[in-house]
Amino acid sequence: MKYLRQALVPATIFAAAVLPGWATVVPVGYADSLVGNFAGGPTNGYGDLAVDAAGNVYSTTPFSGLLTKFAAGGGVTQLGASGGNSLSLALSGNQLFSGYSGGQIRMTNLNTNTTTALATVPSDALTMAFAPTGFGALGGQLIVGAISGIYAVNTSTSAVSTILSGSSYWDGMAFNSAGELIVGSYFSGQVSKVSAGGTVTNLFSIGGGLGALAVRQDNGEIYVANENNGTIMRFSAAGASLGVFASGIQWDGGYWPSALTFSVDGSSLYYTEVPSNHPNAGVRKISGFAAYAGNQNAVPDAASTLVLILGAMAGFSVLRRARRA
């Protein structure tokens, strides 16, 4: 049964987005609303989200290899292929990339809804993002945060290279507008910058329970899902605490990731709560942010590099994992 976590009150004025039997506390001037529910009402809400320029929202689906599209104009569509547990997402052009328990990476053509196995990283693929062209020799490659390290996947050749080794359980990842990779570790709660060569610069720590992170493209602010206290925490680009942005959120919990991402224009912050068959939970968004002045959230378009290998790759390794507590 759902419960409302204790709200942590920063030095600002908050208002509750009051819903029957549930409340998410957001700052005055912002609004929290439901985007959609997962089919079947699963009792876990782990996974990831991606949003395109048209406002369509793509989500992993708990306890399923399938992906879910919540259309901007309404309607829900199942995408991808069954098998395994989908954990992470990255969008590039008309290709939706997904990471799974066991480390498999798949790509789904959104025009045809055909899915192909692309590569496999050494452990559960917890988070992913496309590197901008300035990210050393890895520009344009798919960067994957996993249990055992951070990896780069060449989407043209399916080659996997290691950026950083170590069991840090990387649950959050995003690039800022300067082309820097910001990553977060679940157990330590540490948020750091990682270079293409694997150099780590620590920024701050929330002390553990980091489920996801998102980065503003206009000012570099970092928003962090804190699974230990049900909040979204806000930090400056340099790592200074700016307090609690939102509270009363029931994150999934455990080292499989929670979901947190900004819309392409920066006006909304999307997240996922544990559904628990509650009509007000599922994929949600907080609106009220100032939109970016121009498209500062663009990623390299990998679609053209994938055409040559779509017909050459086939088959999936069915991945299974016992349900988390």
Per-residue pLDDT tens digits for 28-80: 999 999 898 876 655 677 899 999 999 999 999 877 888 999 999 999 999 98
Residue 241, number of CB atoms within 10 A of its CB: 12
Question: Residue 14: inside a domain, yes or no?
Answer: no
Give CA–CA dist 89/95, Å, rounded.
11
Distance spanning both ends of the chain, measured CA to CA? 14
**Closest by Cα among 21, 28, 20 to 4:** 21
pLDDT of residue 16: 42
Cβ neighbours of residue 316 closer than 8 Å, sequence gap 6 or more: 81, 83, 84, 104, 106, 115, 117
Give CA–CA dist 237/182, Å, rounded.
10
CB 255 within 8 A of CB 44: no
**Closest by Cα among 129, 70, 63, 127 to 284:** 70
Helix, coil or strand: residue 123: coil
> Within 13 A of 90's CA, how many CA atoms are on the CB side?
33
pLDDT of residue 108: 96
pLDDT of residue 168: 92
Question: Residue 296: inside a domain, yes or no?
Answer: yes
Per-residue pLDDT tens digits for 107-128: 999 999 999 999 999 999 999 9
pLDDT of residue 280: 54
Cβ neighbours of residue 74 closer than 8 Å, sequence gap 6 or more: none
pLDDT of residue 65: 84
pLDDT of residue 324: 36
Helices (H), ranges, the chain:
303-310
How far is residue 23 from each of residues 2, 19, 111, measured CA to CA in Å?
Answer: 11, 6, 37
Question: Residue 16: inside a domain, yes or no?
Answer: no
Give CA–CA dist 243/27, Å, rounded.
11
pLDDT of residue 110: 96
Question: Residue 301: inside a domain, yes or no?
Answer: yes
Per-residue pLDDT tens digits for 35-47: 988 766 556 778 9
* Range of the structural domain that residue 35 is part of: 29-310
Give CA–CA dist 16/25, Å, rounded.
4
Question: Residue 138: inside a domain, yes or no?
Answer: yes
How many domains, the chain?
1
Question: Residue 59: inside a domain, yes or no?
Answer: yes
pLDDT of residue 254: 86
Helix, coil or strand: residue 183: strand
Question: Residue 45: inside a domain, yes or no?
Answer: yes
pLDDT of residue 295: 52
Give CA–CA dist 279/34, Å, rounded.
9
pLDDT of residue 264: 97
Buried b (16+ CB within 10 A) or exposed e, 192-224: bbbebeeeeeebbebeebbbbbbbbbeebbbbb
Give CA–CA dist 188/81, Å, rounded.
33
pLDDT of residue 84: 87
Domain containing 36 — which CATH number?
2.120.10.30
pLDDT of residue 6: 30
Per-residue pLDDT in tens (0 to 9) along the chain, 325 residues: 222 233 333 334 444 443 444 578 999 999 999 898 876 655 677 899 999 999 999 999 877 888 999 999 999 999 988 888 999 999 999 999 999 999 999 999 999 999 999 999 999 999 999 999 999 999 999 999 999 999 999 999 999 999 999 889 999 999 999 999 999 999 999 999 999 999 999 999 999 999 999 999 999 999 999 999 999 999 999 999 999 999 999 888 888 999 999 999 999 999 998 755 555 568 999 999 999 986 554 444 443 333 333 333 333 332 223 333 3
Question: Residue 22: inside a domain, yes or no?
Answer: no
